[in-house]
Structure 1
Amino acid sequence: MGMLDVVGPVMVGPSSSHTLGALKIARFAYKLIEGIPDEVEFYLHGSFAKTYLGHGTDRALIAGVLGLREYDYDIKNAYELAKKNNLKYTFIKSDLGDVHPNTVLIRLKKEDKINEIQGASIGGGAIKITKINGVDCDLSGDYNTLIIVNKDIKGALENILSIIHVNVANLYLKRTNILEGRALTILELDEKPSNLNELEKLECVIKYFYVGSDN
């Protein structure tokens, strides 16, 4: 048994599942879009939908998309901070299908772009990111994560991997738009590549996002 099992994680809030886990999912979304969104919709599933007010899940989710960490005492002031940052937010009770009961789908709007993150809080503050922009994945948030929108052409993955000179822990790849010839590549990495900007030189790369691990 580890120390975490005895004393629990360092956090602000009443529940590691409903508060800490929710914040970590939302913070992943914040890091994905590299800042605070203009507007966000939280689609709450299962027990999240039933108890989000009582367990502080609402404040945790808002705090996460504002970029707060789990030990930040301003989590309790999330609504005030949202107003200060002109963040529009909506909580929607929703049936997301056959998923973990502590699941939330976060739809973020920033300028003219929309991104979606779906994640589950699986206990003890641990999370799983299960979808990014409709692509199924199984990310823990413990790894550095690189998300690439690329052209669906022969050799695209080979060219991308030739730039990433670090160990790849997990890889997810899916065609997202056959008509436009696009795919989404998600890589979990042991460390941050030192030459990410070189991806811009690849003809197959349309855009990319990097989400660093908080560990």
Structure 2
Amino acid sequence: MNIQSSPVKVIGLTGGIGSGKTAVSDRFATHGIAVIDADIASREVVEKGEPALNRISEHFGSEALLEDGALNRAYLRKRIFDAPEEKQWLEALLHPLIRDRIIQQINRFSQDPEYKPAYLLLVSPLLLETNQWELVDRILVVDVPREVQLARTTARDNCDPKTIEAIIAAQSPRDFKLERADDIIENTGSLNDLHNAVEKLHNQYNQA
């Protein structure tokens, strides 16, 4: 599946855990900007009735499903945590499906004559780790220092700091993201600072 030709630009928004991606995308949305969430797409492709869910059940066994037939996410995370080959199998199955789901949504907005903005937003924590970056015209990285990631995520999710450290370690390094960014929002100031940064980029992106 391919993106259909359109003057609507696609801005890829990414950043590490606790960086503030949701706060940024929510602010863009107040300007009427369509927000496509890769996390939502990743959940949709494994909903009950989806072919991928059957493939997962066949590969990992019946324990991969809950009693109601939905995906047993806790079991699946445990199975792939220390098994790189199983993680690779799962990613090879799901990443193309997620990509196609994202493309469907991009085409829906970009081909809609009622959609007036000059751009839309694709929010994806794995934008740079997968081939999703190929779908965007510019890359926007929300950046915070590691200690801020730890503090925010620990407070938000009520998680043990060691768990958050493990998640951060599993993500691509901060420098990797920054080197590939076309635009950067340094989200270490106030909410007003964040809003001002979004306003500036919105005006830039919305130019014809």
Q: Which one has more relative contact order, counting CA pairs under 8 Å at least 6 apart?
A: 2
TMscore range, shorter length: under 0.3
TM-score of the superposed pair, with normalisation by structure 2: 0.26
TM-score of the superposed pair, with normalisation by structure 1: 0.25
Q: Larger helix proportion, structure 1 or 2?
A: 2
